[in-house]
Structure 1
Amino acid sequence: MRVSLPAWCTYLKVACFYFTTLTNRAKAIPGLNKNSLAMHGLVCALLFLPGSILAQPAIQWDKIVSSEDLQYYEFNTVKQTLDDGYIAGASLNDQDGHSIMVFKLSATGTKQWEKSFVAQYTEELAEIIPTPDGGYLLAGTSRSNAAGDKSENDRAINGGYYGDYWIIKIAADGSKLWDRTIGGTGSDMLREAKSTADGGFILVGLSDSGVGADKSESNLNGRVWLVKVNAEGIIEWDKTTGSQNPKEGEGDFTMDVTQDGGYVIASSYWRSIPGDTEHLTEVIKVATDGTTEWSKVLEYTLDQIPTAIRQTPEGDYVLTLRTYASRKSFILLKLDHTGNPIWYKTYRGRGFAITDAYALSLTSDNGYLIAGRSSANKGKEKSEDARNSEDYWIVKVDRDGIRHWDKTIGGTGKDALASMQQTRDGGYILGGVSLSPVGVDKSEPVDFYEGDIWLVKLAPEPARKRLSFTPGTIRFSAVAGSVGATQPATLIAGSGSPEPTLTKSLNSSWLTLPEPGLGALHFGVDATGLTPGSYTDTVTAAAAGYRSATLVVELTVTDANQLTTVRINAGGERSITSDGRVFTADQYYTGTDRVNAIASQNIKYTSEDVLYRSERSAASFGYNIPVVNGEYVVVLHFAEIWFGIPGGRHAGPGQRLFHVDIEASRKLTDYDIFTKAQGALTAVEEEFRVTVSDGQLNIDFSSGAANLPTVAAIEVIPRSEYTRRTVVISPVEDAYIQEYSYENFGTSPLLIVKDTEDNPNILGRRSYLKFPSMEASQVTSAKLRVYGYNAENTSGVKLYAYGVDQDNWSETQINGNTAPAFRYVQISGVSVNNEAKYYELDVTSFVQELVANDPFVSFGLSSWYIGSTVRNIRLDFHSRENPSGNAPQLVITTNAAARPSLQTTRIASEEITSEDRQAAKSAVYPNPVRKQFTLSLSPKHEGPVSMQMISQSGRSYPVKALGQSTASAQKHIDLSGLTLEKGIYLLKISSKFETEVLKVLIAE
């Protein structure tokens, strides 16, 4: 009988052959030490073993967990408990429905107790959370009324679909303490639950419910429903967010609690395309109070489903995905702090065998462990053959996604992993369902033919004696002849506490090394004697017995006479904005050293919330910023984050009044952030032109009539480079329409909005507005302002702004039967009462998305939304024809130079003009396009360039140029490999500092 040896035996066989040869030769050498020879042989054998084999953690034990009742399990989760044991949970499926099963095990996997929790029909477990009192919170979904262990009825109204969040608090011995039913009047399915820093819990799932019962918001904005409860399960708040169409199904929804106390959610998102449906992943960042901070549909995740998401120590995100159809690879995606991709990695074995990732863990050495199932044999990233059918497969990678080791664990049957957690001893607990008998890695038989829960405990990884830097590169900028501010990098040891040394590869005089050690190290630069240009050196950290680490240090030196930009995040850390501006950590400040910060709140009218969540605030302080003499524009950023925080101090006009002097000239007197911004937690900027003649810009903040001065961020920009302007754009068309009517109201002095869903005898009205557009890549904020009021009573009625994709309507022809459709989800909303004034709606996202190379941007106004309790109330707004002069406005803040074709008005306390420095646009020729075309690239693009064609349905097709991928002047594009129907497409061109969109007509 021929026996196949494990992979490591092959390497050992080679080593043994080498050792035997050495031994035979040694017989002729008198006096050779046999012990030394034996040790030599052992070392040789170890050297021949591959790194992935040596690094694999060993199996400490494995256990089958089953109930006395032979039933079918849907295994959900396993967690380590406070007593170093484990708790496992599953949904039990039998002829009477589903119930929840919980098993408590000792530190060695011996079952200590089991409990079931049942009601009437279907109960499904999603998560188990160990609590500080030694008990546990069980979180799942119930479709039952009060019965058995369930104390409350389903929240569904008569005839509605059942399904609510169901949470159960149990003691350390498994006895039930209390349970809570949380739901709306429709079907709600809990998918994830986590503990929060305040001792409570966050519950997240999908909801089809409107407003009612425990749900305070409709599902107009999406179906993702977040519920925050305290330690006793009492609701503190709930929020609805996400897409209207998240896919339903197992393993399509994941969530993590973030470092700022908020939450990140990844869900499967589907949308219709002509003749088909495509599945993508949507990532949503939510603040501590449930407010959505940002969301991204990951266009490159076609037919891929999220299974786990975690925030990294650096504030980025890692996400595992499984493919919807092919299912042949583990997929690991890394995103930055705003959801933009950093890298995308796949891990697989040989062939097209099933390989799905279901679990993800951050490891103590800043790497990641991916776990799932695979039936693939050895090959690619997989170092071992399948045991027989499907096995547990785990892959350890570093922070850059580079594989360190992998391990296949299984019996001779089918084994499917579903849950994994790193344990306190540095090992791992794995859980899933097994159909395998005793054999290979499995020491116990199954009790039930449908499979039992199989837990596997792995020992800690063998100690990895290596050093690593985080980040791997730091970048400095300094003026020739000056000393730059220090920047940190953290040196980490994989194990132990070595004493490292630091050396420079080029021994550059400009790079200053800190005292060596582990932890945060601050590196400095000195540009004295350097000519303008770029410099690079590499720092190596080494320690006896450890693998060394390298840190790349880059320095850009500018001319001493060249004016440079300085940006400072006051009271905060280094931050990079979504448009690429780099704000350094707080520096150059003088006076009282006092800062204030909030962990997480949504800041209105900005996408750069992090800049405004910290501030320098004291009775008297200033900034002395070294600059080259010349003319500058100083931009001061403010937001009121002390008064007006939900649940905190009341905010109102006059509570904070302070003065600002720049270069000994008073610029602001008794400045009131709340009044200027029209509210708390709202971003506002002030701009000033100044001249510096002594090499230092002085900004002084002093107390005024009330409280303390404050500032959130500072920008100092050379006058010649400053192009940011605030402009007010007037509409070129506006009109309201009446439902089911052919009458045109384009010359009316009013824009009327009225929602009449509950009264079919009264025809509803909605309004349309069209504005000339600006380039999307240059818009930093956009606000739609309409002047009007509630014309019927004093109540507040929510007015919503919607995007309108078609701009070919005319105010003299539009009517209720020809009006273009609104987008399904509104952009933003504002409450309108009986006070006649301008009401503002933030439309930044829509303007940035659509107006590139489009001469117009259109909006719709409506008061309709699902679940609204306010109906049949008329809102009147002034149109552009109204003699009052209070016409609608689109207020845009832009970095683009002025375009003379636009009739715009600057609104600011100080006029700042600018030369037209806008570079030429890219161009496509010929256009219409057949199979090939040439792209003449704008000089605005620098570095690597990526391109994609986007159809009118929104489908994206990656496009590659022939030759280099960098920003060369001309690129030749071949579309013959793409299946594109005739019609208009958008060519999206993205580079480091610029995003551009061109219209392309495909002729065939």
Structure 2
Amino acid sequence: MKKTISLITFTLLLLTTYPQQVQIQWQQCYGGSDMDKGKDVVVLSNGHIVVLATTLSNDGDVGSNHGNYDFWLFETDEFGNLLWGKTIGGSEWDSGKSLIQAPDGGYLLFGHTFSNNGDVSGNHGGLDYWLVKTDNMGNLLWQRCLGSSMNNLAEDMDIDEEGNIYVMGLSLGVGGDVSQNNGFYDYWFVKLNPNGEIIWDKNLGGTYTDNGLCITSTVDGGVIVGGIIDDTDGDITCNMVLWNKTAWVIKLDSLNNIQWQQCYGGTYTESVVEIKTTLDGGYILLGLTNSNDGDVSGFHGYPGEVNIYDIWVVKVDSMGAIEWQRCLGGTKDESPSFIKITPEGNYLIGGFTYSNDGDVSGNHSYSGGIDHWVVKLNPSGEIIWQQCFGGSPDDLLLGGYVISESEYVLVGNRRNPSTSGNIDCIAIGGFGDYDLVMYKILDTTVGISTIEEDKLPLKVYPNPATNSATFSYSLPAGTHQGSIEMRNTTGQLVASTMLNEAKGEWVLQLNNIPPGLYIYTLSTQQKTTTGKLVVTK
């Protein structure tokens, strides 16, 4: 039975700079003698960590390879010590993008493939989306190639309350699984059942290039999708600030009808790479920009400069109207990778930066190199803290997971190691072209997890939660009865259970519980413990 952990949240006065507000608890590097890149990460209810990577190595931690780049799935303990790993792929290029733990405890892996042998079958003739289902030890259960005979570039994946799978990217051409095309590259997204069978596919776009980059299922059975466009015809009816590359977001209902669409941007280039549903029923958009007009203000560089972007965060309401926006960066280039909503409704943003001015301080690779960059915003978009992590010329942060308000696991890669920064690990097989790096950080502005003797032992995983939440409890000695209740912020009871054993677990299915902040209470005749659970979709 795990020890009780209760978070005591307290507010610290913010400094004008942000030193020592985030600490690395541990770090590990993984890989072989070639290129190994971490792409996505999930933390399990037992604290173990599962990582999706792309690898070209055939030695070291990787062990074997099918001939070119492979998906690499591995599990570690709570301190990052490797437990097992599997390479999945064929003899051509197979690159992973997104990882989700399935409701049955297995894993869904999404990326793209040129292969049609080894673990891969059904390729349509070029670059296909590739969806893979494994068991909880990484053993292949089924796989599905999706696409036409032309190129189909995978970008994002999500899962809904019923276990249906949504995949997103861009597609060229018609045929195979692609039912239509508007001219060139389109947003192309597909809904599949839990067994990988296609339910429907959908194209959105105009005459030219439209890159679908993200998809999120919504509580009404629909989806919201986003990316970047450079045309104004076809399905595109929203007003662009100027005719240029613009962020395009579309909300569709459960029948695939467009409910609304919005174009966001300024004179130059904007995109949206990730969308999350917020606790108030709106959405938080993560993207990039190099404009400083229209919908954009606060850009840190010279507007329109080639390959110089800020990370752009936009909060919109349920109909896509902008509530606030924030440019994050310095005078050099920044790139976004992920945004996560914390249990307190703050935003954790990860990406990478070349800058060491503006919002960015502490870059370890400022002589032309890249650092991991993590920023925490409050619900109004104000910076709580920022931190650079690195030590080599090229450190790319690509994935992250929120364990609690104060604990986060981050995954990416590093090249040509240096001991001058705060990431200095080396993989067991020595350093390759790129090594995968994973580390856990602690936000000291929240407070350190402590054990409170007067509280009942209760731990809730994951938090935030999407499909289910596990309540792991232990009642006082001699007590064999208790209860757990969960209420929304208005006090309405949404779920409860009676406890008739001294210790155990209650798995709460969240299918019919809307996103938001909830208060849970574990009670016996002697003691009570309360906490917060964030439900996201």
**What is the TM-score normalised by the length of structure 2?**
0.68
Q: Indicate the residue corresponding to 1:136 in structure 2.
A: 107
Residue 375 (str. 1) matches residue 351 (str. 2): no
**1:317 deviation in Å?**
1.8
- The answer to whether the Cα contact below 8 Å between 1:437 and 1:445 also exists between their aligned partners in 2 is no
Deviation for aligned residue 1:244 = 4.2
CA distance in 2: counterparts of 1:153 and 1:257, whole angstroms: 27
Distance apart, 1:441 and its partner CA? 1.4
Q: Could you say what secondary structure the match of 1:421 adopts?
A: strand
Instruction: Find the aligned partners of 2:422 and 2:324 in 1 and give their Cα distance.
Output: 34
Deviation of 1:93 after TM superposition, in Å, equals 4.3
Distance across 2 between alignment mates of 1:163 and 1:140: 10
After TM superposition, give the deviation of residue 109 of structure 1 in Å.
Answer: 0.6
Q: Provide closer, same or farther for how the CA distance between residues 301 and 109 of structure 1 changes in structure 2, counting only shifts above 3 A.
A: farther
Note if 1:331 corresponds to 2:291.
Answer: no
Are the aligned partners of 1:76 and 1:126 in contact in 2 as well (CA < 8 Å)? yes
Matches of 1:278 and 1:428, distance apart in 2: 37
Q: Find out whether 1:393 has 2:362 as its counterpart.
A: no
Note the C-alpha offset of 1:186: 3.5
> Counterparts of 2:208 and 2:314 in 1: how far apart (Å)?
22
Question: For 2:197 and 2:437, how far apart are their aligned partners in 1?
Answer: 35
Give 1:38-77 correspondences, 5 Å limit: 50=15, 53=18, 56-67=21-32, 70-77=33-40
The letter of the residue matching 1:355 is: E
User: Does 1:278 find its partner at 2:244?
Assistant: yes
Aligned with 1:153 (options 104, 112, 122): 122
Q: Distance in 1 between matches of 2:406 and 2:374?
A: 15
* Amino acid across the alignment from 1:381: D
The letter of the residue matching 2:340 is S
Classify the secondary structure of the residue corresponding to 1:520: coil
Does 2:240 match 1:262?
A: no
Aligned to 1:26: none
Equivalent runs, 1:877-916 vs 2, <5 Å: none
Q: CA deviation at 1:393?
A: 1.5
Higher helix share: 1
**3-state SS in 2 of match to 1:58:** strand
Partner of residue 107, structure 1: 78
Q: For 1:222-233, what aligned pairs fall within 5 Å after superposition?
A: 223-233=186-196
Q: Are 1:321 and 2:275 matched, yes or no?
A: no
Report the AA paired with residue 317 of structure 2: D
Whether the 8 Å CA contact 1:73–1:451 is kept in 2: the answer is yes
Q: In 1, are the aligned partners of 2:364 and 2:420 still within 8 Å (CA)?
A: no
Gap change, CA 1:73 and 1:272, over 3 Å in 2: farther
Unaligned runs of 5+ in 1: 1-45, 157-161, 466-516, 523-597, 601-1004
Q: Compute the displacement of 1:193 (Å).
A: 0.9
Q: Where do residues 798-809 of structure 1 align in structure 2 (5 Å cutoff)? A: none
Give the letter aligned to residue 204 of structure 1: M
Mapped partners of 1:49, 1:238: distance in 2: 48
Using the alignment, how far apart are the partners of 1:49 and 1:241 within structure 2? 44
Shift of 1:72: 1.8
Secondary structure at the residue paired with 1:236? strand
Cα displacement string for residues 19-67 of structure 1 (whole angstroms, at most 9, x for unaligned residues): xxxxxxxxxxxxxxxxxxxxxxxxxxx9998376488232111110113
> Aligned pairs, how many?
411
Question: What does the per-residue CA deviation read over 1:864-922, in whole Å, with 9 as the maximum and x for residues that have no partner?
Answer: xxxxxxxxxxxxxxxxxxxxxxxxxxxxxxxxxxxxxxxxxxxxxxxxxxxxxxxxxxx
Call closer, same or farther: CA 1:259–1:279 in 2, change over 3 Å: same
1:104–1:114 CA contact under 8 A, matched in 2: yes
Please give the per-residue CA displacement for 1:523-550, whole angstroms capped at 9, x wherever unaligned.
xxxxxxxxxxxxxxxxxxxxxxxxxxxx
1:193 equivalent in alignment to 2:173 = no
CA drift at 1:123 = 1.8
More off after superposition, 229-238 vs 321-330: 321-330
- Per the alignment, residue 173 of structure 2 pairs with 209
Please point out which of 300, 305, 308 is paired with 2:266.
300
The answer to whether the Cα contact below 8 Å between 1:246 and 1:269 also exists between their aligned partners in 2 is yes
Structure 2 CA distance for aligned equivalents of residues 84 and 599 of structure 1: 25
1:362 matched to 2:341? The reply is yes
Alignment of 1:669-708 (within 5 A): none
Written as runs of structure 1 = structure 2, the 5 A alignment for 1:594-743 is: none
Separation in 1, partners of 2:344, 2:148: 43
Match of 2:238 in 1: none
Instruction: Give distance in 2, aligned partners of 1:187 and 1:112.
Output: 36
Tell me, in whole angstroms, the C-alpha distance in 2 between the residues paired with 1:247 and 1:418: 23
**2:213 paired residue number:** 253
Alignment check: 8 A CA contact 1:55 1:405 kept: no
TM superposition shift of 1:247 = 4.8
Distance 1:439-1:341 versus aligned 2 partners, 3 A rule: same
Q: What is the rounded CA distance, in whole Å, between the counterparts of 1:93 and 1:362 in structure 2? A: 33
Are 1:240 and 2:210 counterparts?
no
Distance 2:258 2:284 in 1: 19
Aligned to 1:92: 55
Correspondence for 1:346: 327
Q: CA deviation at 1:85?
A: 1.6
Distance 2:410 2:171 in 1: 31
For residues 373 and 245 of structure 2, what CA distance do their matches in structure 1 show? 26
Q: How far 1:170 sits from its partner (Å)?
A: 1.1
Structure-1 separation of matches of 2:14 and 2:279: 33
Cα deviation, residue 360, structure 1 = 0.9
C-alpha deviations, 1:89-125, integer Å up to 9, x for none?
2223489543222222211111112211122422221
| Mapped contact 2:39–2:54 kept (Cα < 8 A) | yes
CA distance in 1, matches of 2:217, 2:48: 24
Residues 222 and 330 (structure 1), Cα distance of their counterparts in 2 relative to 1, 3 Å cut: closer
Q: Percent identity?
A: 23
Q: 1:116, 1:373 → 2: CA distance?
A: 27
Rounded to whole Å, the distance in 1 between the matches of 2:349 and 2:280 is: 19
Match 1:434 to one of 414, 423, 428: 414
CA distance in 1 between counterparts of 2:163 and 2:224 reads 19
One-letter identity of the residue aligned with 1:184: S
CA 1:425/1:314 → structure 2, altered by over 3 Å: closer, same or farther?
A: closer
Kept in 2: contact 1:226–1:290 (CA 8 A): no
**Closer, same or farther: CA 223–518 of 1 in aligned 2, 3 Å:** closer
**What does residue range 942-961 of structure 1 map to in structure 2 within 5 Å?**
none
Q: How does 1:900-979 map to 2 (within 5 A)?
A: none
Q: For residues 372 and 364 of structure 1, do their structure 2 counterparts lie closer, same or farther at Cα, with a shift above 3 Å needed? A: same
Asked if the contact 2:68/2:90 (under 8 Å) is kept, the reply is: no
Provide closer, same or farther for how the CA distance between residues 180 and 215 of structure 1 changes in structure 2, counting only shifts above 3 A.
Answer: same
- 5+ residue gaps, structure 2: 1-10, 58-65, 234-241, 291-305, 449-486, 493-511, 515-537
**Structure 1 residue aligned with 2:384:** 404
1:181 paired to 2:145:
yes
CA contact (8 A) 2:184 2:208 kept: no
Distance in 2 of aligned mates of 1:223 and 1:356: 23
Greater CA radius of gyration, 1 or 2? 1
Instruction: Tell me: CA distance 1:331–1:214, structure 2 relative to 1, closer, same or farther (3 Å).
Output: closer
3-state SS of 1:288 partner: coil
d(CA) in 2 for partners of 1:440, 1:328: 24
Letter in structure 2 aligned against 1:399: P
Q: Which residue of 2 aligns with 1:119?
A: 90
- Note if contact 1:74-1:93 (Cα within 8 Å) is conserved in structure 2: no
Deviation track 1:787-829 (CA, whole Å, cap 9, x = no partner) reads xxxxxxxxxxxxxxxxxxxxxxxxxxxxxxxxxxxxxxxxxxx
